[in-house]
Amino acid sequence: MPILGHNILKIEFEKLQTLGGKIEVSLRPTIRNLRLGEMHLPSGKVKGIEVDVDYIITYSPEVARASIKVRVFYVPRNKEDIDNILDEWEDRKVLPGELVAEVVNFTTSELMPIAMYIAKEMRIPYPVPLPRAVVRGE
């Protein structure tokens, strides 16, 4: 797995109003910045890319809003790609699909349990729908 670690930088949830009825929730992870990084492991230093991600949760109607900022340490499968990825980002703000998929999937799986717990405590709708059992008539 190319992601070796992450740091949550900021979590912000705000409850605005209480409404009934249908509430739509959308999740929008956005990669804000990339930079060369280094992680110290027991086996030595590892060079990689630090990826800053803003995870925005919006509600419609606006009953709440939330954002989570996280930094992910990404190591491409081919170490020589680090410079190419950073150059492409600096020149054109373009990222390889593999990096985007890995980072978004990782941050979603790591942050959703936290977001669901906070939403439960604040009595706002969960950011992802929970499965519900339905009794069917025979």
Distance CA 22, CA 89 (A): 40
Q: Alpha helix locations (H) across the chain? A: 81-92, 97-122
Task: Average the pLDDT over 29-39 and give the result.
Answer: 92
Report the helix count and the strand count for the chain, using DSSP H and E: 2, 4
Confidence of residue 9 (pLDDT cuts 50, 70, 90): very high
Which segment of 4-13, 46-55, 123-132 scores lowest on mean pLDDT?
123-132
Question: Residue 138's pLDDT is what?
Answer: 66
pTM over 0.75, yes/no: yes
Helices within 14-92 (DSSP H only): 81-92
pLDDT digits (tens, 9 = 90+) for 45-103: 989 999 999 999 999 888 999 999 999 999 998 888 899 999 999 999 888 888 999 99
